[in-house]
Amino acid sequence: MEVTKLVLSHCDHFQFPSQKAGYTYDIRVYVPEGEVPTGGYPVFYVLDGSSYFQIARDVVHLQSRNAPKTHIDKAIVIGIGHQESDTTKRRFYDFTAPADEYIYPPRLQDSDLGPHGGAVDFLAFIEEELMPYVQQHYSIHGSKQSLYGHSLGGYFTLWVKFTRPDLFQTFLATSPSVWWNNHELLNYAEQFAVDMTPSEHNNIMITVGEEEGFMVEDADKLRELLQKYHLSVGVYIALEENHASVVPTTMSRMFRFGSTYVGSIHE
């Protein structure tokens, strides 16, 4: 019996050296088959791409076949991943905002997490290097772009929303680490909300597993804070799911929100 390695169809895979971040990222790209829609494809940028690209790709590939029922359109999926040798520490660097000091919860005080605060450089890589490359090499719709992240990636996704709200059209955060650095994300959220026009920024979707305890409470705190300023935030609690299982359980819901939102603003 001859065994061959399975290669995902219509996918590109390459290493992207970033001058902005001083790091080489693992990039995976899925491009749908068929005729390119008017204006180009919507795009989902997926953080932790080495882990979640294939799930995201399959959601779009399978469900876009029946978009009238699934409400998920054909789209390009971009997975942004780290090198296997340093994924954990690099995530804590790339996905966290700079701060004068970092306060750790008791469960992490004895952990070696490496340096933090690289979110500005990581965002510069996405905005100034990766997005122009994608624009140049793929047929995309520049005003139909979504950012997806899980856990610390969810924190980064929301941090981008609160600091650069016009860079993406939807912000999809699964189990976001609102707890990071003594809940500093709530401060970013309130600073953002004070100055924003509500009707222009109801484009956040948060999902969290029912079994994630304090992360459910944190998602509710964030929703309540933004609602105080009349900003609508979609929060879905996935029954009987935990921090790992919530990703495949809710990915379709997240991408459906992204597809529906970017479609509605261009009708």
CA 213 to chain centre: 22
Residue 84 domain-assigned (yes or no): yes
61 assigned to active site? no
Q: 160: closest CA among 198, 196, 202, 188?
A: 188
Q: How far is CA 123 from the centre of its chain?
A: 12
Domain annotation covers residue 6: no
Check residue 263 and give its pLDDT: 67
Per-residue pLDDT tens digits for 228-264: 988 888 899 999 999 999 999 999 999 999 998 876 6
Helix (H), strand (E) counts: the chain = 9, 8
Structural domain count of the chain: 1
Distance of alpha carbon 250 from alpha carbon 97, whole angstroms: 26
* Residue 136: per-residue pLDDT: 97
Q: List C-alpha distances in Å: 136 to 82, 140, 167, 169, 173.
A: 23, 9, 17, 19, 27
CATH code assigned at 246: 3.40.50.1820
Query: Is position 267 annotated as part of the catalytic site?
Result: no
Helix locations, 207-264, DSSP H: 214-228, 246-264
Does some domain include residue 2? no
Tens-digit pLDDT profile for residues 75-86:
999 999 999 888
Look up 243 and say whether it is catalytic.
Answer: yes
Is 260 a domain residue?
yes
Q: Which whole number is the average pLDDT over 184-206?
A: 85
Domain limits for position 33:
11-264
**Active-site residue, selected from the candidate residues 64, 151, 175, 252:** 151
